Structure 1
Amino acid sequence: MSPSRARATTTLALLLLATTACTAAEHESTPAPHSPPVSRQAGQLRLPLDAYAATVAENRVVEDAQDILMRRCMKDLDMEWKTLPSVDAQDTEPPNLRRYGADESEAVRYGYHPRPDPPSVVRRNRAWDEREALPAEVQRAAYGTSGRGGCLKTARNQLVGDTAPPDYHAFNQLTVTALETSRRTPEVRGALRTWHACMAKAGFDYPEPFAASDSERWETAEPTAAERATARADVACQKSAKLVTVWAAAETRIQRRLIQQNSGRLHEAKARKDRWLAAARRVLNREGG
């Protein structure tokens, strides 16, 4: 993420957890107008803790509302501010894609490489990058000398006043704990053993799906034939072992327990998130977006 993007993005932005793989990482790429959809299982996978953190789409709602307010502020200073282009709804990845390993729809074509960003995501990324090239006086007006001042500070004050930004430390901490705890349950360990045996029969020696997907062999510019073959075997063995179904059930149970144990912290985080989102949607509704 570029420096100006980091300054402009609100603290609603989720921590993209390495242990769960990037579910919404934005990266430089060639547009992929016909990217395959994710598998139905990945698209429908929801976990209890999802309710307590903002989705990528919700983050963009706040960014868009903030951008509108920044444009007004910059106009008062006789400066132009181009708002970010929107992202098509179908171009936003589901929240838990690749949480338990490779996705079936992606593996056939891309192996373990991320699929190229679709056009609407590429357009938004380019707009962020273009802000890096803005004249110094425009950047100072937009962000101040600290990176948190200028029209950015004005926009945030107009958006939520003194409402504190959501604190996602609890969510980030608990979602990692849930994943690692569920990984050690008897049923998940059994499914992983079944997956390993299936992979070994196919000629691949990996202890678990993350070891396969994170192999240094795949650090190439484009997916290789060997990578795609490994990924295809991986997802076939996941289906054979019912790995995602078993793992999601185990983690759901653990997440529910963690929510009960941390209800105060989580509910406060959700309340703050909801206030930010409600304020952002009011701005967008007034703007007609």
Structure 2
Amino acid sequence: MPPSRARATTALTLLLLATTACTTAEHEPRPAPHSPPVYGQAEQLRLPLDAYASTVAETHLVEDAQDILIRRCMNDRGMEWKTLPRVDPRDTQPPNLRRYGADEASAVRYGYHPRPDPPSVARRNRAWDERDALPAEIQQAAYGRSGTGGCLKTAQHQLVGDTAPPDYDAFNQLTGTALETARHAPEVRDALRTWHTCMAKAGFDYPDPFAAAGSERWETAEPTAAERATAREDVACQKSAKLVTVWAAAETRTQRRLIQQNADRLHEAKARKDRWLAAARRVLNHGGG
């Protein structure tokens, strides 16, 4: 079975605390170091630890380069290998879109449900599904019995030699710690209380935005009218409480402290990530597609 797919099991995805937050997307220009995040622009929200994360676009880049090398290896074994269709970088979501709760842009149409996959993402997902259904002998040649061997192992060695994969645990652990630590900052607790009072006045009893977004009521195939109404009120109360601005400012301070405390580990993780990316770009620039 394929060892990774960016849509579901990528090691680059942020592990959050019972949230539906998304953490990966293309790099975009960062705000000035001392500029506070602006509410209403969640799609542009950037946090200090983002510099040490890998985006979905970067995950795809490495997968695409490996795929070219896997195809060569499989062809040498007399087997065909269909490479994954490329994803338009514009189809990847921003890294912190739902980090503090509902996404304002999606609430009206989708409630708490994720937005539908754009066409290029859907095509790649279908290609992963097709790989899951490949005959056992093809999958074993490509990935070995363990899922990390076969032509994949050969491709990775050709790509980066003995360089270990990036240490994504460093980012995941620290960003989860930062989110939870900032959540308990006095100003964030005040903003959450303001949000809760606002929701209560509208007839909704949720302790925080994560509980609202994660309610079992929304486990439906399609968003319901009640879900959309709740999500709309949720984002309106977030806006009135200035929750995103307050929380992001508190977390920015926390993340900067954690970066200082873990500088060596983060530096090494970023160096390894950069080596993988540079190698992948060389293959894609010279190896075709």
In structure 2, how many angstroms separate the alpha carbons of the residues matched to 1:7 and 1:254? 31
1:133 is matched with: 133
Asked if the contact 1:91/1:121 (under 8 Å) is kept, the reply is yes
Structure 1 stretch displaced more, 131-140 or 76-85: 131-140
Do 1:12 and 1:166's aligned partners in 2 also have CA atoms closer than 8 Å? no
Q: Which residue of 1 aligns with 2:78?
A: 78
Q: Would the alpha carbon gap of residues 191 and 198 (structure 1) be closer, same or farther in structure 2, given more than 3 Å must change?
A: same
- Give, in whole Å, the separation in 1 of the partners of 2:139 and 2:259: 42
User: Tell me, what secondary structure is at the counterpart of 1:169?
Assistant: helix
Matched, 1:244 2:240: no
Contact 2:49 2:175 in 1 (8 A): yes
Is 2:154 aligned against 1:154?
A: yes
Give, in angstroms, the shift of residue 12 of structure 1: 7.1
Q: 2: CA distance between counterparts of 1:12 and 1:131? A: 16
Please state how far the C-alpha of 1:283 moved relative to its aligned partner. Answer: 0.6
Q: What is the DSSP-based 3-state SS (H/G/I as helix, E as strand, rest coil) of the residue aligned with 1:4? A: coil
Tell me the percent identity.
80
User: 1: distance between equivalents of 2:87 and 2:256?
Assistant: 32
Separation of aligned partners in 2, 1:210 and 1:259: 26
AA partner of residue 261 (structure 1): Q
Structure-2 residue corresponding to 1:265: 265
Partner of 2:36: none
1:235 paired to 2:222:
no
How far apart, CA to CA, are the structure 2 residues paired with 1:138 and 1:179? Answer: 42
Distance in 1, matches of 2:5 and 2:208, equals: 38
Q: What CA deviation, in whole Å up to 9, does each residue of 1:78-109 have, x standing for no partner?
A: 21111000111221011111100000111000
1:117 is paired with a residue whose SS is coil
Deviation at 1:43, TM superposition (A): 1.3
1:186-225 paired onto structure 2 within 5 Å: 186-225=186-225
Q: CA deviation at 1:6?
A: 3.1
The residue aligned with 1:29 is none
Q: Describe the SS at the equivalent of 2:41.
A: helix
1:184-233 Cα shifts (integer Å, max 9, x gaps): 11111111111111111212111211111111111111111111100000
- Name the structure 2 match of 1:6: 4
TM, length-normalised to structure 2:
0.89
User: Structure 1 pair 40/122, CA: closer, same or farther in 2 (3 Å)?
Assistant: farther
Counterpart Cα distance in 2 of 1:226 and 1:140: 47
Instruction: Give yes or no for contact 1:7–1:147 (8 Å, CA) kept in 2.
Output: no
Is the CA contact 1:7–1:143 (under 8 Å) kept in the aligned structure 2? no
CA distance in 2, matches of 1:8, 1:90: 15
Q: Is the 8 A contact 2:5 2:128 kept in 1?
A: no
Equivalent-residue separation in structure 2 for 1:196 and 1:221 (angstroms):
28
Taking the aligned partners of 1:166 and 1:185, their CA distance within structure 2 comes to 31
Matched-pair contact (CA < 8 Å) for 1:16–1:23: yes
Inter-CA distance 120–24: structure 2 relative to 1 (3 Å threshold): farther
* TM-superposed deviation, 1:136: 2.4
Q: Is the Cα contact below 8 Å between 1:23 and 1:95 reproduced in 2?
A: yes
Are 1:61 and 2:55 an aligned pair? no
Structure 1 residue ranges, 4+ long, deviating more than 6 angstroms after superposition: none
Consecutive unaligned residues of structure 2, counting only runs of 5 or more, are: 25-38
Contact persistence 2:170–2:265 (CA under 8 A): yes
Consecutive unaligned residues of structure 1, counting only runs of 5 or more, are 26-38
Q: Secondary structure at the match of 2:81?
A: coil
Q: Deviations over 1:151-185 (max 9, x none)?
A: 11110000000011111222111111100110011
SS in 2 for 1:94: coil
- Cα gap change, 1:12 to 1:266, in 2 (>3 Å): farther
Q: 1 CA distance for matches of 2:124 and 2:181? A: 37
For 1:126 and 1:84, the matched residues in 2 are separated by 9
Task: Find the residue that maps to 2:54 and give its secondary structure.
Answer: coil
Between the aligned partners of 2:143 and 2:288, the Cα distance in structure 1 is 26
- The residue aligned with 2:27 is none
| Number of residue-to-residue matches in the alignment | 273
- What is the letter of the counterpart of residue 238 of structure 1? Q
SS in structure 2 of the partner of residue 203 of structure 1: coil
Conserved in 2, the CA contact under 8 Å of 1:7 and 1:148?
A: no
Amino acid at match of 2:128: W
C-alpha deviation, 1:49, in angstroms:
0.6
Between the aligned partners of 1:238 and 1:145, the Cα distance in structure 2 is: 49
